[in-house]
Amino acid sequence: MINKGILEPNSSLRITLIIISVIFLGIVFLGQRFNYSSFFGFSLSHQNEFIFNRSLRFLINDNLVLLIIYALFYERKYVKFGLLVEGFGFFFLLIPYFLLRFYTDLDHMIISFLHRLIINPTLMLLIIPAIYLKKNKY
């Protein structure tokens, strides 16, 4: 991990990391219809292509927010907590979402709220005010 001295408060490196992360989050959002599987040269069925693309976008978004969390609070314990939240989101939200979408007769509009919650880094962004409040409470 980076030496704590490099990421001191008000450091230009921290601000740069935040700006880069936000720019890339915007790029990922604007390219949300981009087919990552074809970029990697995979020839997948429509269903597998959807799963691959959404999973990769989930991981990219969440890891960019982890970079923001690290730049804001510069403590490993918050990044570790973020990784736990990312794992929870992947195994307990993303995978069940795919199961609901492809293996049930539910209308896609019924589970669209779940899609927005999972694919956009909502859970990870909610960590930022929680950490801030926790830090200022003590």
> Three-state secondary structure along 15-64?
HHHHHHHHHHHHHHHHCCCCCHHHHCCCCCCHHHHHHHHHHHHHHHHHHH
Q: Which of 3-7, 81-85, 131-135 is modeled with the greatest confidence?
A: 81-85
Instruction: Supply the pLDDT for residue 51.
Output: 92
What is the rounded CA–CA span in Å between residue 89 and residue 103? 19
Instruction: Supply the pLDDT for residue 6.
Output: 54
Q: Each residue of 50-98: pLDDT tens digit?
A: 999 999 999 999 999 999 999 998 888 999 999 999 999 999 989 999 9
**7 pLDDT band (50/70/90 cuts)?**
low
CA distances from 136 to 14, 45, 63, 131 (A): 20, 49, 25, 9
Please say if the pLDDT value at position 111 is more than 90: no
